[in-house]
Amino acid sequence: MTTWLLDYYNWRVVALYLDEFSRGLMATLNISAIALVLSLIIGTGLALARMSTRPLIWRPVAAYIQFIRATPLLVQIYIVYYALPYLLPFTLRWDEMWLGIFALVLHTAPYMGEILRVGFESVPQGQVEGAKAVGMNALQRLRYVILPQGFVNTVPPLLGQTAILIKDTSLLSLITVFELLSAGMIMNSQRIMPTESFMTVAAGYLLIYALMLVLSGWVSRRLSGPAWSVRQP
């Protein structure tokens, strides 16, 4: 009954490679998760540095952010992959996955930082003054007042940026990192079945995308964020 489908999408061959695809999917999620955590940490640092009143601190950070935003990720990946081991000799022992993660973090952290900065700046000045009035020092104000409130405001756009990050990991297949798209390319090179290979890869990414949509729907119901984060119906 379903044999006509075999002409268009030979799921029997895909089934042989199912193990490969699921390992690829896990690798994509793994790389994304590591890159996400590192980007959030570095992004927070960048946001705080960008908000500094000292030109010596915020100007270089602003220049870095602008430069990353105005150059393609692929070029950044190539620079990191080919040149980083010469610039920083201790990275010579890193395998391509960690070089790829380095490039992704280098690229994603400024975007995360800009989102977080908008969130931090949206915390009303009165909150900071209130914290000062109860005798908190700068670190305590950051830790107990600005960061918690600023972070909540930024969850929906951060999720959007995470979805972009997950899609960006596909570019790492070009520097021989094994992930979901690499799994499809391996199948295509062994069986020469582009439809089966790449449609399955696309289905894998769509699965992640669907989960992200459900998650962001749940989050935006839970948090009633400020007006700028509310999606158009």
Partner 1 sequence: MMEIIAPYIDVTRVVMPFLVRGFIETLRISFFAIIAGSVLGFAVGLMRTYRLPLINALLGLYIHFLRGTPFLVQLYLFYFVLPSTGVSWLSWDSETAAFVTLAVYTSSYVAEIVTGAIRSVPREQWEAASAIALNRYQTMRLVILPQAMRLIVQPMSGVYVILIKSTAIVSVVGIAELTRQGEQLIITFPNHLLYIYSLIAIIYFLYCYPVLRFARWLEVRVGGVKSVPME
* Residues of the shown chain interacting with partner 1 in the complex, contacts defined by CB under 8 A: 66-67, 69-76, 78-79, 82-83, 86-87, 111, 115, 157, 160-161, 164, 167-171, 173-174, 181, 184, 188, 193-195, 197-199, 201-202, 205-206, 208-210, 228, 232-233
Query: Which residues neighbour 134 within 8 Å (Cβ) at sequence distance 6 or greater?
Result: none
Q: How far is the CB of 31 from partner 1 (least distance, A)?
A: 13
Nearer to partner 1, 45 or 160 (CB): 160
Nearer to partner 1, 41 or 202 (CB): 202
Q: How far is the CB of 223 from partner 1 (least distance, A)?
A: 17
Q: How far does Cα 53 stand from its chain's mean position?
A: 28
Q: How far is the CB of 67 from partner 1 (least distance, A)?
A: 6
Based on the number of CB atoms within 10 Å of its own CB, is 126 exposed (0-12), middle (13-18) or buried (19 or more)? exposed
Q: How far is the CB of 180 from partner 1 (least distance, A)?
A: 9
Name the token pair of 155: 């969850």
Nearer to partner 1, 18 or 207 (CB): 207
Based on the number of CB atoms within 10 Å of its own CB, is 72 exposed (0-12), middle (13-18) or buried (19 or more)? exposed
Among all chains, which residue has been given the structure tokens 């100007």? 59
